[in-house]
Structure 1
């Protein structure tokens, strides 16, 4: 029998060390989406905070532990959002933070990491190369390596979203969760399956970055040689075995969606909810668009997990805004 790394009591305790600015994010039923999608859609808006993603819930827990242990330095690899979050949490606790990222990462994310005072090192490769470099820095400098999804604090920080869903949402049938490294999916999934086991937990990943979905389906780690998706925030190639073990215990399904559906989801969130989101945040809407019959007449919660997007790329994907005439 598999035993999860997550603990509901620790997740509840995590809320006490997370800056309240990241907690109790808006949760509301978006009626304007219902006619187009054929189901009731509630949005959990994890962009309404200073780093515009859910990642700071986890880095707040990590940074709190580092500060309590008098350890003053940390390094992480990031596609952008984790780096911003660790920079924010570290700045507030006087930590020396270094972020390693691909030089091909979204420029807006890289600029914000610098603005938050973290050191930034760029590598000429993808996120997996950044992970290798961050690990090398941690070894050579003797500092804490913060590994998203592997470090249980990142999962249990993200899991506090699940507490808010279960405690505050009206009855819902399904939660759609973006699947990248797995912290959000395993954390929220653990809470939902523990406290509301009747709710279906569905993870959504881009077709061009399918490693963890393939791993979930085959119940073993499956890696890929490359990724090809606009959803850079979830474009991993090498799933973490311990994360897969946790995911197998909580996910009812894992689905893959095309980039075209992600773009359509981003446009729907703009047109019907007034939200500018990054591609990863539209994965839930994309899943509904690709399988409307499955979700027909359900009440679905989708976690809008980030809005750090390159505005030029966003305009290329979404196109000009429509002109509304009175």
Structure 2
């Protein structure tokens, strides 16, 4: 019988390790969105923290363990958010952090990694090439490789979001979760299925970067030649088998959304919620926009998972002018 790698007891224990600045993030019903979307929508806001994404929950668990028992030097590949989070968590624990990223990654994310004191190496390729380079550095220098989603601590750190959802007074019957490498989706999905089994767990991925969704649908790893999406945080091409196994148990559905729906979701979150978000954070709203009948009359939670954007690019996406205060 297939089993998940995640464990509820460890997830509960993770809350004791994670800096409180990342915990108990706002969860609120956003009525301003509801007339446009046709359903009740609650937002779980994972951007009001020092790294402006949910990733700090997982890196806090990783860095806490390394500070006690592991090597003091670590390397990871990142599209930007994990690198920021590991740099932040490592700095507070005296770890030597190196981040490998694509030189085409969001400039604001790369600048923040540098500002947090991590070493940054850029590769002339996408996230998958950065993963290969990070693994090579770990082998050659004998340091710890932190792999997002494969390292269970990154999933169980993210899963603490699920504990906060099911422990709140906000009733919901579906949760929409951005799907990339899988840490957020498997973590939150596992907790929701275990503790609120009546709620539907729906993972959302861009049509231009569908590898994990295709893998979930076919129940085997499916890789893609390219990833073409503005949602850089979920633009992987090569799913990790162990993470897919966890996702198969945690998700009720996985859907793909178009780029124009992602942009429309970002614009709605700005106009109706006052939130500047990165494309990955708007995937849940995009899913509702593309299938209103499915969600009509339901209460849906969407996890707003990051807000690290280049503002000039963001303005072009949402049609805002510099004078609009962005």
Mark yes or no: TM-score above 0.5: yes
C-alpha deviations, 1:179-234, integer Å up to 9, x for none?
A: 00000000000000000000000000000000000000000000000011000000
- Match for residue 189 of structure 1? 189
For the residues of structure 1 that align with 2:106 and 2:311, how far apart are their CA atoms?
10
For the residues of structure 2 that align with 1:322 and 1:109, how far apart are their CA atoms?
20
**Contact 1:135–1:145 (CA under 8 A) maintained in structure 2:** yes
Q: CA deviation at 1:47?
A: 0.1
Q: CA deviation at 1:129?
A: 0.1
Count of residues in Structure 1 that have an aligned counterpart in Structure 2: 324
- Match for residue 286 of structure 1? 286
Give the TM-score normalised by structure 1: 0.98
SS in 2 for 1:168: coil
Q: CA deviation at 1:312?
A: 1.2
SS in 1 for 2:167: helix
**Contact 2:315–2:322 (CA under 8 A) maintained in structure 1:** no
- Match for residue 207 of structure 1? 207
- Match for residue 82 of structure 1? 82
The runs of 5 or more residues in structure 1 that have no matched partner are none
Q: CA deviation at 1:171?
A: 1.2
> 5 Å matches for 1:161-310?
161-310=161-310
For the residues of structure 1 that align with 2:323 and 2:27, how far apart are their CA atoms?
29
The runs of 5 or more residues in structure 2 that have no matched partner are none
**Contact 2:227–2:236 (CA under 8 A) maintained in structure 1:** yes
Q: CA deviation at 1:315?
A: 0.8
Give the TM-score normalised by structure 2: 0.98
For the residues of structure 1 that align with 2:161 and 2:59, how far apart are their CA atoms?
14
- Match for residue 127 of structure 1? 127
Q: CA deviation at 1:170?
A: 1.5
- Match for residue 106 of structure 2? 106
- Match for residue 16 of structure 1? 16
Q: CA deviation at 1:250?
A: 1.2
C-alpha deviations, 1:27-62, integer Å up to 9, x for none?
A: 000010000000000000000100000001000000
Q: CA deviation at 1:277?
A: 0.1
Q: CA deviation at 1:320?
A: 2.1
Aligned Cα root-mean-square deviation (Å): 1.2
**Dislocated runs of 4+, deviation >4 Å:** 321-324
For the residues of structure 2 that align with 1:111 and 1:82, how far apart are their CA atoms?
13
For the residues of structure 1 that align with 2:216 and 2:26, how far apart are their CA atoms?
30
- Match for residue 44 of structure 1? 44
- Match for residue 157 of structure 1? 157
Q: CA deviation at 1:310?
A: 1.0
For the residues of structure 2 that align with 1:273 and 1:322, how far apart are their CA atoms?
19
Q: CA deviation at 1:151?
A: 0.3
For the residues of structure 2 that align with 1:266 and 1:46, how far apart are their CA atoms?
15
For the residues of structure 1 that align with 2:34 and 2:76, how far apart are their CA atoms?
39
For the residues of structure 1 that align with 2:202 and 2:290, how far apart are their CA atoms?
14
